[in-house]
A and B are shown apart, each in its own frame.
Chain A
Amino acid sequence: MRSTLSATTFVLATTLFACTSPSPAGPSSAYQVGATGNFSTIQAAVNLAPGGAVVEVFPGTYTEHVTLNKPLKLRATGAVLDGGVSGTGVGILVSGTSDVEVSGFTVQNFERGIVFENVVNSVLKSNEVRNNTTKSAPPFVFGVTPWEGIVLIASRNNEVSGNYSHDNGHDGLMVTGGSSGNRILNNRFTDNGAQTPTSVG
């Protein structure tokens, strides 16, 4: 992949690697995150990677929010994205893009785990999404209070497969905003709704 970079991009990438890397680059990808990768944060790798690149995330706990708005493959092995004790917002937000892959993560302790918004032809697979709960004060409002594991908003023709969404504040998976043509296959959704109010549907 490095050979495909322009000279300017390569210089920029090298500079950023030096600023963010705890160790030298690995052999298989220019965008590796973790103790043995080029980047110490996922977002730094996402920001620099060009469309179509693979971002590999190595085992470890990452305390950050990740926003992705270009066609990348974000592949994790043993990586935990953790919002912490009072984590808010979305763990991984994919917005306004296509041909994305998000796989292999554990996403926990945010308000929403993984959100696809205006995303098409993408894949969300083999993730564990758990313990994402609202930090808002009651009363909780259905459709407004953020407390889901996985959410598809106005997203089309995506595959959601092999995920395990559990122990989130409300829904395991919500499909909304005119999402269509999505394939939701071979997932497990259990034990969601610790914050479920009984006064709303």
Chain B
Amino acid sequence: MLRNHWGIIINTPAADASANIIRTNTVHNNGRAGIAILSLTARGNTVENNDVTGNGLLNLAPSLRFDLFAASPADNTWRNNQGNANFAVASVATMATVAAEAFGPGGCMGPPMGQR
């Protein structure tokens, strides 16, 4: 049964997420990306040496079938991770489309954060 979602997600509706280190984690069997930085303003985060495979099972936007997904990959460091990444193959045009979808109506970044 495909019933999984993001493994680790950096989602920043209110302020920048910066300088976080995500290292040597195991992230499997998620419907969208195993590790995702969805914020376009997240900077200086490091994602390295993680085993992130078997994700993207639901093939849903914005991450589609990618294990590692970044809306703004150039502003963060991604290295030595196992898994396929959107930024390794995405063109500038593709990234713009993905970002627009994520931040658009019904996208990941639309509503503000709430909590209990």
Q: Pick the contact of B58: A179, A183, A196 (CB < 8 A).
A: A196
In this complex, the interface size class of chain B, counting residues with CB under 8 Å from chain A, is: 35 or more
Q: Pick the contact of B31: A174, A175, A193, A199 (CB < 8 A).
A: A193
Task: Check if B82 is an interface residue, CB within 8 A of chain A.
Answer: no
B4 adjacent to A192 (CB under 8 Å) = yes
B30 adjacent to A192 (CB under 8 Å) = yes
Q: How many angstroms from the CA of A145 to the CA of B111 in the assembled complex?
A: 10
What residue in chain B is nearest A141 (Cβ atoms)?
A: B111
Q: Pick the contact of B114: A143, A173, A187, A192 (CB < 8 A).
A: A143
B14 adjacent to A190 (CB under 8 Å) = no
What residue in chain B is nearest A186 (Cβ atoms)?
A: B24
Collect the chain B residues with CB atoms within 8 Å of residue A189's CB: 7-8, 25-27, 30, 34
In this complex, the interface size class of chain A, counting residues with CB under 8 Å from chain B, is: 35 or more
Q: Provided the pairs A173-B9, A174-B11, A175-B11 are in contact, do residues A201 and B60 lie with their beta carbons within 8 angstroms?
A: yes
Interface positions, chain B 19-44, Cβ under 8 Å from A, are 19-32, 34, 38
Task: Check if B68 is an interface residue, CB within 8 A of chain A.
Answer: no
- The A contact surface, by secondary structure, is loop
Q: Provided the pairs A173-B8, A201-B32 are in contact, do residues A186 and B113 lie with their beta carbons within 8 angstroms?
A: no
Q: How many angstroms from the CA of A174 to the CA of B23 in the assembled complex?
A: 15
Collect the chain B residues with CB atoms within 8 Å of residue A137's CB: none
Q: How many angstroms from the CA of A112 to the CA of B115 in the assembled complex?
A: 9
B115 adjacent to A154 (CB under 8 Å) = no
Q: How many angstroms from the CA of A175 to the CA of B17 in the assembled complex?
A: 8
Task: Check if B84 is an interface residue, CB within 8 A of chain A.
Answer: no
Q: Pick the contact of A175: B4, B10, B62, B116 (CB < 8 A).
A: B10
| A residues whose Cβ falls under 8 Å from a Cβ of B | 88-90, 111-112, 115, 117, 141-146, 151, 153-154, 170-194, 196, 198-201
